[in-house]
Every structure is written in C-alpha cells, then in structure tokens.
Amino acid sequence: MKALTEKIVHYLVLLAVTFGAVWVMWRVSSKEPNSAADERTPQRAMSPVVAAKALVEIEPLQVQMCEIFFTYAGKIRAWETYQVGFETPGRVMSLGVNDAGQPLDEGDHVRQGQVLAVLDERVYRSQQTEATARVEQAKSDVKRAERVRLTNPAALTESELQRLATDEALALAQLEVAVKNLEDATLRAPVDATISERMIKSGESVSAHQIVFELVQNDEVLLVVDVPESQIHELETRLRVVDKNRAGADPDDSAFRAHVRLEGRDRFGNARPPLMGEVHQIAEVSDPQTGLFEVEIRLPNSERLLRPGMVATADLVTARIPGYRVPEEAVIYRERRAYLFTVDREPAEMEVLYWNVGPTDLYRARKVDLRQWVDQGSHVVVPEEDVELDSVVVRGHFRLADGQVVRVMNLPKPSPGQVHAANPRERVDGSVDR
C-alpha cells in the first residue's frame, strides 16, 4: 500500500511540473512584441567594443627623404683601354716582370713607366754611337773653320762655313733620331693599368706600330646602361641640378647617385653587396641600331673586383622628395585610382552585461585616397604634402570599409604608465589629429 501511495504522489508531482511549464510557455507566447511596455523600454544596442572586428596588421610610417629612381641593366666597361706597341721594328729580347719576378702576362697590374718589353738594342745603340761621332766630327770641323777664318778670311768662303754648320745641324738631328729609336726599343706602360691581353712572346719579331699589349684602367670602371628617349629629359634635368649644387652642403644633392647591384649570388645564395656609383656622362646621340642613349655610371674599383663584361643593374636617382615609403602590398588599385587604409585610435568604455569595467581603446580603419604616387617596385612613394600618415594596413585591408572597427594583430604593447589621450581621433602611435 505504501509503494502505491508513493507512485501516485510521484505522478502527481510530474503532472504539476508539466502543467506549470505549459502555462509559462503560453504566457510568453501570448505576449505581443510591439506592446506599449516594450516600446517604453527599447533594447540596448551592442557596444562596438564587443562587436565583431576585422583582423588587420599595420606597419608604422614616418616622413623621410625618399629617392625616386629609374632602373636599368647594363654591362661594365673599363674606364680607358690602351693598345700599345713599339714605334720601331725589331726582335723582342725580353718581357717586363711583375712583382713576383715572373714575365708579365694577362691580369698583371703595371704602374706608369714600368717596362713592358724590350727589343734587341744592339743596332739602335750602334746607330746612337755613330750619330754621336758624327756630331763630334761636325762640331770639330766648324771650330777649325772658324779659327781659319779668323787668321785668314780669304782662305775659307762664307758658303763653305755655312755648309759645315749645316752638316753639324744634320748630325745633331740624326743623333736625336738615334736616341729616340733606342728609347723606343723599350716599351713602357703609359698609365697605371692592368694587362688584359698580351700578343707577343720573348724572341718574336714585331713591326713598327704593331699592337703587342692591351691595357685597361680599372681603378674606376663604367657601368653603361641604355636609356629610352622618353626618360632622357628627367636624367638630363637631374644632371644639371647636380652640376649646379656641386658646392652644396648636402652630399646627396651634389651628386647624381646610382645604386648598383651585381647580378648573380654567392655560394650561399645571398645577393652581392650593393655599390654606390655616380652618373658620369649621358650620350649626346642615340645608338643608330637600338635608338637608345648610353648613360655611363662611374664605379670605384680600388680592389679591382669589377671586370669589364660583368652585368649589373642600376637605380638612377632622379629626384629626392619628402614623403612616405609605403609597402607595395598596402596600396589597393581600382581602375585609375589608388588608396590605402590607416588605423585611428579612439577611447571607448568596456561594458560587460550592464556593468562598465573601465576605459579601453577602439580602432577604426580610415580610407586614404592617393592623389599622386610613384611606384618603385617594392614600395610606393607618397609625397608628404598630399597625405598625413603614421601607419598603414598591410594585411586584411582588401575587404575593409571606411570607419570599420578593426582589431590590430601586431599592436605594440604600451609602456608601463602610458596614459591614453581623450581625443576621439587619437592615432595608433599616440599622436593626435588636430
């Protein structure tokens, strides 16, 4: 009997709970959503602090002197090339020697006046001795004739005395030729240079003016690039500005700079260190075959590591303007317009349910239209006078809208004790829009 009673009580409790739940559901469903009570108590809007945010990454920017350049490729040439040979014919007796005492060969560096090769001097030396003897004989004849003329003027006519003087002058001329021939039997380097080619060997016979050595000056070299006609005007304008500012205090405006990169990489796959050059000359006329103008860029080569024929790329700096170096991936192009996004910081209140837990920062994307820009490959130069930027969005910006709330993934941590300004247009870096 007791078990039956407990089961009945249990069922009654379940029925009571079920009826209670049905009644609550009926009351809730029967309540009108547009009642006057609901209109008097509007729902509270969600705070933008807790709203969903687009994830972005930013890169800080600052105004700097930006270089505008054109990029060209070309080959390195020697500063000057000399093709030297003997003035007189003969047989090569010996070659000059390098610092190691070995006969000169290709690649050896020679100094101005250093002996390159020597001809057989015996014939020229005997010719000099013969010419010297003739000079002494002629001088002796003239002196003897003058003494005779003083003692007996009728013994020697004026024409005979003149003939003796002429013989003396001819003997002196022949002596000068003999001396020069003897000197020309020794070939010397005209300048400090490097031997690029040697065409003779010891014991060979050569003729007069035959090229026997080719020398190149390579303490400085020239990188020659071909420039189209459309860009010569800017290069010429920059060259004239540089010539005008040669004595200026700013070294960057007193030289037509060129940043040069050698092609190829080292054994570890790293790019070779860049070189700093200077535009030396712009060709007056174009090449008849290509229609391009040759521009020569002077490069220092004190260690003689640069050799003619090497390929290099040069960035010719045509202007320097104050502006921003914006990463190329941060700029969005639409038809003929370009724009980017920056991030502004504004103060906000952090609310959880109905409690205010304190101030925080809210970040909004701001669209910046670019009026003018210069594409420089890895970055875009934006003039300072057009925009004012302190940061730029580099990731997550393709689907952003102006004024959209964002979350900065790489935001730097604030320093201890940093206090945020209350201005609603405060930027990410702490500066304030005025």
Angle, vertex CA 244, rays to CA 242 and CA 246, nearest 5: 65
Gyration radius of the chain's alpha carbons: 46
Write out the two tokens for 396.
């997550």
Distance CA 387, CA 371 (A): 9
Neighbouring residues of 205: CB distance < 8 A, sequence distance ≥ 6: 89, 90, 91, 92
Whether 38 contacts 287, CB under 8 Å: no
Whether 366 contacts 342, CB under 8 Å: yes
Tell me what pLDDT residue 193 has.
Answer: 93
The candidate with the shortest Cα–Cα distance to 179, out of 113, 131, 122, is 131
- Provide the residue type at 242 as one letter: V
Write out the two tokens for 193.
């240079």
SS (H, E, C) 212-256: EEEEEEEEEEEEEEEECHHHHHHHHHHHHHHHHCCCCCCCCCCCC
Whether 164 contacts 88, CB under 8 Å: no
Element housing 6 (H / E): helix 2-29
Tell me what pLDDT residue 419 has.
Answer: 43
Start-to-end CA distance of the chain, whole Å, equals 89
Sign for the pseudo-dihedral over CA of 269, 274, 279, 281: negative
Burial of 44 from C-beta contacts in 10 A (0-12 / 13-18 / 19+) = exposed
Specify which residues 279 forms β-bridges with. 297
Pairing state between β 90-95 and 205-206: antiparallel
Distance CA 70, CA 227 (A): 10
Write out the two tokens for 40.
């008097």
Write out the two tokens for 180.
């020069």
Distance CA 329, CA 398 (A): 10
Q: Which residue has the tokens 């994307």?
A: 365
Distance CA 177, CA 184 (A): 10
Tell me what pLDDT residue 120 has.
Answer: 92
Tell me what pLDDT residue 45 has.
Answer: 60
- Say if pTM beats, i.e. exceeds, 0.85: no
Specify which residues 360 forms β-bridges with. 348
Tell me what pLDDT residue 434 has.
Answer: 39
Per-residue pLDDT of the chain (434 residues; tens, 9 = 90+): 667 777 777 778 788 878 778 777 777 666 555 544 455 555 556 667 767 788 999 999 999 999 999 999 999 999 999 999 999 999 999 999 998 999 999 999 999 999 999 999 898 899 899 999 999 998 888 888 888 777 777 777 778 878 888 888 999 999 999 999 899 999 999 999 999 999 999 999 999 999 999 999 999 999 999 999 999 998 998 888 888 887 665 666 778 899 999 988 888 888 888 999 999 999 999 999 999 999 999 999 988 889 999 999 999 999 889 999 999 999 999 888 999 999 998 887 776 656 666 777 889 999 999 999 999 888 999 999 989 999 999 999 998 999 999 999 887 665 554 444 434 444 555 554 43
Chain mean position to CA 196 = 28
- Provide the residue type at 75 as one letter: K
Angle, vertex CA 80, rays to CA 281 and CA 110, nearest 5: 145
Distance CA 57, CA 404 (A): 14
Element housing 277 (H / E): strand 275-282
